[in-house]
Amino acid sequence: MADAAFEGRTLVKVFGELRAVGGITVAVQRGEIYGLVGPSGAGKTTLIRMLCGLTTPTSGEARLLGHLMPKERRAVEDRFGYMPQERAVYRDLSVGENLLFFGRIYGMSRPAVARRTRELLTLMRLADRAKQLSAHLSGGEKQRLSLACTLIHEPDALLLDEPTIGLDPALRLEFWDHFRTLAATGRTLLVSTHYVHEAERCGRVGLVQRGRLAAEGAPPDLKAWASTASGGPVSDMEDVFLILCRSEGGLR
Amino acid sequence: MKANRVLTVAERVLRQLAHDRRVLVYMLLIPGVAMILFGYSFSGDITGIRTAFIDEDNTDLTASILENLEKDDAFRVTVLPPGEDPEQLLLKGGYQAVIRIPDKFTSLYYAHFAMGVATTAQGTIDLCVDESDPQIASTVAMGLADAIMDLGEGGPVNIETRELYGVEVRFIDSFAPAIMGLVVSLVSTVLTVLSIVREKVDGTFSRVWVSPVRRSEFILGYVVAFGLIALVQSIVVLSIGKLVFDIVINGSIVWAFVSVILFAVGSVGLGTLLSALARTESQAIVSFPLVVLPSVLLSGMMWPIQAIPAVLRPLSYIVPLTYSNRLLRAVMVKGLAPWEEPVGLAGVLVFVVLTIVLASLVLRQSAQEAG
Ligand SMILES: Nc1ncnc2c1ncn2[C@@H]1O[C@H](COP(=O)(O)OP(=O)(O)OP(=O)(O)O)[C@@H](O)[C@H]1O
Ligand SMILES: [Mg+2]
């Protein structure tokens, strides 16, 4: 799997007594959109943080664009973007200043940041908000700014932790269209989500449960698997998810 | 290390502060208010000591002693008729000092001159003073000695005073450097802690951590931002010192600024260290008295370190402000170059290196915890 953008090999993360991630092996190919779904507390965030070098695995190996994380993270530091689950923007900076900061630390020139800011703010429907203090943005607006901050330096690989939470359905659709566009230009996306039907839009989906990858595959395959498991027809990912939760993991 | 990224972090910190007008106002207000409050309440001059004056001799000479005492702000003189018992006045009458000039004082005083130094005959003034407050007692003794000296007759007491480091160093002159160090270090430490803790809580720290910004660049960014702020605050302190208190600055202003900025750098390091101990902004805030109290009480800012009980004195030597005070006083009051006060300079340098190195280590820890 030399071509994998993200790769985890029997990744384990233990917090005190708690096995937050209990041996996940996963590989996301370049240009792929990979969805992570699973109940709250399943270990999605922990997995993503290990893949981008923010959390050191207790055991196992995390690789990003072929480099061992967090050890070799300097080799890929400007080629990936991470969107934390919390709306990680500076409350006491304006929208434009947030983008300026995150663009500049990636070595972008001021004019380049300005151009990219216009693009992203239009995309995020925040074009008239550049001067507004982020603290005064609505929840969804902050979320959009947060995604813009992740995209500012045009990274090849994206780790997005619940990027669409708090957005209205129309905007969510637009986000996913944009994700598709990004993937079409060769970028790789690892997206965790609570909206299970969003998973339909992913190339492949991993179902995380209790720190393990309970099932993995393209949405049609997962549906087929779920209908076998439940003995009835399964039409959407929501059902797959519920069947999985009921079956207490261990379907692999 | 890229200067660009350091400056980007510094610019961000300054922009954040610029958006928060209240913080900005406080940052400029605190040095001013501190200078004025401390300056007035600790001006070092004791005034208005309740003093009874009993003149049993009643001559021109004793009248001018009274006049001199009344001119001195230290005393609030009440003239009482002869015959009152000084000790009773002190114990029951609410006086802090009683000065009684006995009968024949003037003739004995002049007799002394007539006969030269060989004589034991000498005017004596009876002074009763409340020893329970030694500072008041010594102020009274000194004030009285002054009042007699000022007679201009060259009395029997000959006090020789040597004044080093300037014509007359008042308390406020050596206080301004301490206020400068205190305010600059507090503001740098407190704002650094709050800013980094907020980054951890909000998750922006995770973003910065996965970006190309190095730990050293992150800390240096804060250092540059707060170095600039320290400069502005020092200017406020010095301006108020000059305008309101007419402080004497014997040394070089440039060295003073260099020294205070150096101290601010260490304070940013300390703030970064403290940020690792706090998970929330409230935890950070309640820890501030732990920084403020030792600085104010043990640094030799208000009273000399020699006045601190021996048990506590070792603590004085681990309070960073102790060294900053030595350094800044040497530079501003004595007019020395920083290296001519090696202990102060070394202390501040150790503080800077130690906190910055440790800060860089704890930041790694913070990144793992965050989010
Ligand atoms: N730093 C930490 N210290 C201790 N426990 C942690 C830490 N981070 C996560 N955990 C625990 O690990 C488990 C997995 O957390 P994680 O955030 O990965 O879940 P998640 O799948 O992202 O959940 P959600 O969908 O609610 O975001 C949780 O039980 C959480 O409490
Ligand atoms: Mg999560």
Nearest partner of A40 among A165, A144, A158, judged by Cα: A165
Answer whether B371 sits within 8 Å of A102, measured CB to CB: no
Range list of β-strands (E), A30-78:
33-37, 59-64, 67-69
Task: Summarize the confidence of residues B223-229 as an average pLDDT.
Answer: 91
| Pocket lining: A44 vs ligand 1, CB cutoff 6 Å | yes
Please give the model's pTM, rounded to 2 decimal places: 0.80
Number of neighbours of residue A203 by Cβ within 10 angstroms? 16
ipTM of the prediction: 0.90
Atom 16 in ligand 1: which residue has the minimum CA distance?
A: A43
Q: How many CB atoms lie within 10 A of CB B298?
A: 21
Sheet-wide strand order for A33-37: A80-83, A157-161, A188-192, A33-37, A204-209, A212-217
% of chain A beyond a pLDDT of 70: 97
Q: Which residue of B has its CA nearest to A57?
A: B368
List, for residues B234-261, the tens digit of each pLDDT value.
Answer: 888 888 888 887 787 888 889 988 998 9
pLDDT for B168 beyond 60:
no
**Chain B interface, best mutation among A92, A94, A132, A147, by max B CB count within 10 A:** A92
Q: What percent of chain B has pLDDT over 90?
A: 22
Burial A144-176 (b: 16+ CB within 10 A, else e): bbbbbbbbbbbbbbbbbbbbbbbbeeebbeebb
Q: Name the residue in chain A with its Cα closest to that of B205.
A: A88
pLDDT tens-place string over residues A70-94 = 889 899 999 999 999 988 999 999 9
What distance in angstroms lies between residue B123's CA and the mean position of ligand 1's atoms?
Answer: 88
Q: Is A40 in the pocket of ligand 1 (CB under 6 A)?
A: yes
Q: Which residue has the tokens 């006491």?
A: A92
Angle subtended by helix axes B171-202 and B288-298, to nearest 10: 170
Task: Give pLDDT, residue B16.
Answer: 93
CA–CA gap between residue B144 and residue A222 (Å, rounded): 100
Q: Which helix (H) or strand (E) is B9 found in, with range?
A: helix B3-19
Average pLDDT over residues B331-341: 88
At a CB cut-off of 8 Å and minimum separation 6, what does B195 contact? B13, B16, B222
Q: Give the architecture-level CATH label for domain A1-78+185-252.
A: 3-Layer(aba) Sandwich (3.40)
Residue-wise pLDDT tens digits, B191-209: 899 999 999 889 999 999 9
Q: Output the six-digit token pair for B326.
A: 């030595």
Under 8 Å between Cβ of B50 and B95: yes
Per-residue pLDDT, B160: 42
Classified as helix, coil or strand, A159 is strand
Q: Which of B13, B20, B207 to mutate to test the interface with A (most CBs of A within 10 A)?
A: B207
- Answer for the pair B87, B130: CB distance below 8 angstroms, yes or no: no
Which residues 199-228 of chain A have a CB within 8 Å of chain B? none
Strands B49-55, B97-101: pairing kind: parallel
What pLDDT was estimated at residue B121?
A: 53
- Tens-level pLDDT at each residue, chain A (252 residues): 457 899 999 999 999 899 999 999 999 999 999 999 988 899 999 999 999 999 999 999 999 999 998 889 899 999 999 999 988 999 999 999 999 999 999 999 999 999 999 999 999 989 999 999 999 999 889 999 999 999 999 999 999 999 988 788 888 888 899 999 999 999 999 999 888 888 888 999 999 988 999 888 898 888 888 788 777 777 777 777 777 777 654 444
From B348, B316, B319, select the one nearest B331 (Cα to Cα): B348
Residue B165 in this model has a pLDDT that exceeds 60: no
pLDDT attached to residue A50: 94
The confidence score (pLDDT) of residue A242 equals 79
List beta partners, residue A83.
Answer: A160
Domains and CATH numbers, chain B: 49-163 (3.40.1710.10), 171-370 (no CATH)
**Where are chain A's structural domains?**
1-78+185-252, 80-154
B16 touches chain A (CB under 8 A): yes
Residues of B in contact with A78 (CB under 8 A): 211-212
Chains A, B: CB contacts within 8 A come to: 85
**pLDDT tens digits for B279-312?**
888 888 888 888 888 888 888 887 777 778 888 8
